[in-house]
A and B are shown apart, each in its own frame.
Chain A
């Protein structure tokens, strides 16, 4: 029984259009590395230049954010779900860039 990694809508284009991917259990950092090895284009979406998870990308094991567990060392047991979830922020006032299509 594998681990299910849930891919958010806008990142599926970097994972052959898949909404979820089955991977072997283990430390979540290794699991994500395996995911990126399988779908290299996901890498630049998930990680910044320093190899750290981007600040607006969140990874949950079950219902818990790995930042509040053991980070990349959090063990994911078989049968569990890992969710990659974006944070979305914004607000008005500042100047903007736009172009029309």
Chain B
């Protein structure tokens, strides 16, 4: 039996983290939580997730800052990132994709 895939969810919305975590957990994924970008950076010191689900707008360190750090400074540069954002600007989407997100979900 293959070990469960790890997903790091970086989002300041506790409810969304809980709901999405429960949903993905039921789908067989192992979920890890970070409440903002800085928290995510801390998690990645000990964790190598298979996927990062990243909110864009967060306190302390927002999704853009986290993504920029991940693609430039982090050791785990190649972890795929799915971006979740309520911002509907196409400009935001392009910026996020340009920073290295695999896809953007609105």
Do chains A and B interact in one complex? no
